[in-house]
Structure 1
Amino acid sequence: FFHFHRTALHLACASGHPDVVALLVERKCQLNFFDGDYRTALMKAVQCQNERCVTILLEHGADPNLVDIAGNTALHYATVGSNTSIAEKLLLHHANIEARNKDEFTPFLLAVSKNKQQMVEFLIQKEANVHAVDKSQRTALMLAVHHDSADLVRVLLQQGIDISSEDANGWTAEEYSIFSGLKVSRQLIAEHREEKLNNYLQNKNPGKTFQHELLLVVLT
């Protein structure tokens, strides 16, 4: 692949002219040329949410797994745009759901960091790795807490993310919530921890409620 400024195909995708895209593709233009930021025409079509252009490019063999200057794929762009329909098309054409950009963000982690709940739920449905961590070893739960996204915290806790995981600085998601003064997120995590402990104790010793109460005192 070559590094060029924008081609006619880039411009047609960016301005939303699927008929022009179809004409250029039929005339065997190069689908995977990069512009100055190493973005392909497919990335531009996704970024501008021109789904018809995206469809034409994919059906003619555009590569969804090429990366731009920041390591983002077309699926990363779909994530930022919160466009699940385009994301679905990319995945059907073998886009890598676990692709990582230079910050080690998968599309799933990027969706969490941008507070794109619909996209997060879509990627969970598509079996994205909810336990992925970024280059600072932050989990999706830490990112959701950091960005004060209580609704996403609820969604992620339901996925069984380990609340005891530590980032590169040794911080847990609960510590993020404490130091940032995020009472709702802290409460959700504390309730989740208590529920897990309660379930564990009930399975191990159904009748020993005193041990349960004692452990809750210790943990809180």
Structure 2
Amino acid sequence: MDITTAVYNAARDGKLKLIQKLLSNKSAEELEALAEEKTQGGTPLLIASRYGHLEVVDYLIEHCKANVELGGSVNFDGETIEGAPPLWAASAAGHLPVVKTLLKHGASVNNATLTNSTPLRAACFDGHLEIVRYLVEHRADMEVANRHGHTCLMISCYKGHKEIAKFLLDKGADVNRKSVKGNTALHDCAESGSLDIMKMLLKCNARMERDGYGMTPLLAASVTGHTNIVEYLAHQPRTSREERIDALELLGATFVDKKRDLLGAMKYWRRAMELRQPGDKASSLAKPPLDPPSLPTVVLKK
């Protein structure tokens, strides 16, 4: 095993004494070079930060002059994150002491991965409230979105992290910010099924808008089968009769398609039918005709 791999493995396992032994006879230039060498796409500092080995992190920065901004590949839950700086890895893994020491040594609080995920977004994703607070206190930008346009507030709502969502809203996060596909935090909340967060967003003047696919938060809750969200939004004064009908019909279809519950589907379809035809012909709402499907264009090849 070469020394680069040995130092990387020792940093991953938190074996400071072994690292000190391996590097005991190296010059300052050799130490700095070894600290920037990558194994499996990552540096020793990155892997030590990911696993929360504070003493190793301090040693690599102070003794080896490791670059606190140098990103690399790091694995989380079977997914390889590319271009992740050490601060991102520590934030994602929930290691507050490492986060503090990296910032103390000059790490940029908004340095992002190749997909533009910031350390703050990483902490929001996995529900690390104390790290979220610390990063915001040190000027982390709450509105930096990843490549899909998803903000810290959106991911907190999608993951159901109520306290983090509340903290971000209290700090002024944009409740109506849209992603690349036009969804808002309300859509993400509707898909996750968190009614408490939904109520909190609405109190902060979240707007019920359609995304790029024409889906409202109410329809998003219907298609994912979150009956608590559907029932709450369907009874909001801002929700029209037509929107209630569409949501109940879609919820019924979801019960058949995803839950294999025909009786549950019939219950929601009956409610939709009663709303559509309440007994008074004058107030009945006819179901709009379906547009005929467009025929595919046939391309002939030689």
Smaller-chain TM-score range? 0.7 to 0.9
Q: Deviations over 1:74-113 (max 9, x none)?
A: 0111001211111122112221110110111111111111
What residue number does 2:109 align with?
64
Aligned match of 1:158 in 166, 187, 203? 203
Gaps of 5+ in 2: 1-35, 74-81, 240-282, 285-302
1:11 has 2:56 as partner: no
Alpha-carbon spacing, 1:25–1:174, altered in 2? closer, same or farther (3 Å): same
Deviation at 1:182, TM superposition (A): 3.6
Amino acid at match of 2:57: V
Amino acid at match of 2:163: Q
Equivalent residue of 2:211, what SS? coil
What residue number does 1:186 align with?
230
Q: Deviations over 1:96-148 (max 9, x none)?
A: 11011011111111111112212111111221111111121111111111222
Equivalent residue of 2:210, what SS? coil
Equivalent residue of 1:38, what SS? strand
1:34 has 2:99 as partner: no
Query: Does the 8 A contact of 1:13 with 1:41 survive in 2?
Result: yes
Query: Does the 8 A contact of 2:37 with 2:43 survive in 1?
Result: no
Cα root mean square deviation, aligned:
2.3
Q: Deviations over 1:166-188 (max 9, x none)?
A: 11122222233345554321232
Amino acid at match of 1:136: K
Which 4+ stretches in 1 moved above 6 angstroms? Answer: none
Query: Does the 8 A contact of 2:176 with 2:206 survive in 1?
Result: yes
What residue number does 1:80 align with?
125
Deviates more, 1:171-180 or 1:45-54: 171-180
Task: Give distance in 2, aligned partners of 1:63 and 1:142.
Answer: 31
Deviation at 1:50, TM superposition (A): 1.2
Give TM-score scaled by structure 2 length. Answer: 0.59
Aligned residues: 195
Task: Give distance in 1, aligned partners of 2:188 and 2:201.
Answer: 11
Alpha-carbon spacing, 1:162–1:3, altered in 2? closer, same or farther (3 Å): farther
Deviates more, 1:19-28 or 1:70-79: 19-28
What residue number does 1:51 align with?
96
Amino acid at match of 2:139: H
1:124 has 2:169 as partner: yes
Q: Percent identity at matched positions?
A: 24
Give TM-score scaled by structure 1 length. Answer: 0.80
Task: Give distance in 2, aligned partners of 1:40 and 1:50.
Answer: 14
Q: Which has the higher contact order (CA 8 A, sep 6+)?
A: 1
Alpha-carbon spacing, 1:3–1:12, altered in 2? closer, same or farther (3 Å): closer
Task: Give distance in 1, aligned partners of 2:51 and 2:217.
Answer: 42
